[in-house]
Chain A
Amino acid sequence: SQQGEEDPQALSIQEGENATMNCSYKTSINNLQWYRQNSGRGLVHLILIRSNEREKHSGRLRVTLDTSKKSSSLLITASRAADTASYFCATDWGMDSNYQLIWGAGTKLIIKP
């Protein structure tokens, strides 16, 4: 019952290059969130974008949302070795007392020095 699916599953780029990850979802949402997970650790929130927003920035991160295509992208500019991690999108599902975040399987990003 995955709502969000990331693409690609894995991405390997050189340090300094830009990294783009995509997330597609199936049903209408109120918001979409991106999280980062370093190996063996808990997830860390990056950005939340609401359904009435089209683009959001945070430092080197840029998130876009296209509700007509039910998709979002996360762009990391000028990548660094420390950006090596898995990135997950999460979309809200349900309403009232049965509200949940549904998570994709993630994109594993490797930054080569």
Chain B
Amino acid sequence: NAGVTQTPKFRVLKTGQSMTLLCAQDMNHEYMYWYRQDPGMGLRLIHYSVGEGTTAKGEVPDGYNVSRLKKQNFLLGLESAAPSQTSVYFCASSYSIQNEQFFGPGTRLTVL
């Protein structure tokens, strides 16, 4: 089992460009999450999903959109990237809302 995978691993964007980060899990988890991690800080939740076709806002959702068209995939979109979105993005999944979360390896995004 691959667990949670993320693509791409690295990306450099110019301000105003758009991109989509892909997260995939093969554990049949209902719950999936997108976080960002900035230096010296813990994870902050961007959006999450409690099942196929459902999404909800987290702590810092502005500037991001998400979609969960298939149970195993959770996409994070940046429509118009800004330098403030330079960060490391982590995807995670879990069996239920109160169980441990399994994390992907992260995507390091730089917006110039």
Residues of chain A having any CB pair with chain B under 8 Å = 1-2, 4, 30-31, 33, 40-45, 48, 88, 90, 92, 97-106
Q: Which of A1, A42, A97, A100 has the most CB of B within 10 A?
A: A42
- With a cutoff of 8 Å between Cβ atoms, the chain B residues found around residue A2 in the complex are 42
Contact among A41, A92, A98 for B98, CB-based, below 8 A: A92
CB distance from B86 to the nearest CB of A (A): 16
B83 at interface by CB-CB < 8 Å: no
- With a cutoff of 8 Å between Cβ atoms, the chain B residues found around residue A99 in the complex are 97-98
Q: Are A103 and B44 touching (Cβ within 8 A)?
A: yes
User: CB within 8 Å of A: which of B65-112?
Assistant: 90, 92, 97-106
- With a cutoff of 8 Å between Cβ atoms, the chain A residues found around residue B90 in the complex are 42-43
Closest residue of chain A to B97, judged by CB? A99
B43 at interface by CB-CB < 8 Å: yes
Give 17 pairs: A residue, B residue, CB < 8 Å, sorted on A: A1-B59, A33-B101, A42-B4, A42-B103, A42-B105, A42-B106, A90-B43, A92-B98, A97-B56, A99-B98, A100-B45, A100-B58, A101-B45, A101-B101, A102-B59, A103-B42, A103-B44
- With a cutoff of 8 Å between Cβ atoms, the chain B residues found around residue A45 in the complex are 100-102
Residues of chain B having any CB pair with chain A under 8 Å = 4, 40-45, 48, 50, 56, 58-59, 90, 92, 97-106
Q: What is the bound-complex CA distance between A105 and B37, given in angstroms?
A: 10
CB distance from A19 to the nearest CB of B (A): 19
Contact among A1, A41, A104 for B106, CB-based, below 8 A: A41
- With a cutoff of 8 Å between Cβ atoms, the chain B residues found around residue A104 in the complex are 42
User: A42-B106, A98-B56 given as contacts; is B100 within 8 A of A103 (CB)?
Assistant: no
Q: Are B42 and A105 touching (Cβ within 8 A)?
A: yes
- With a cutoff of 8 Å between Cβ atoms, the chain A residues found around residue B97 in the complex are 92, 99
Q: What is the bound-complex CA distance between A102 and B101, given in angstroms?
A: 13
Q: What is the bound-complex CA distance between A59 and B38, given in angstroms?
A: 31
- With a cutoff of 8 Å between Cβ atoms, the chain B residues found around residue A90 in the complex are 42-43
User: A100-B48, A103-B43 given as contacts; is B105 within 8 A of A31 (CB)?
Assistant: no
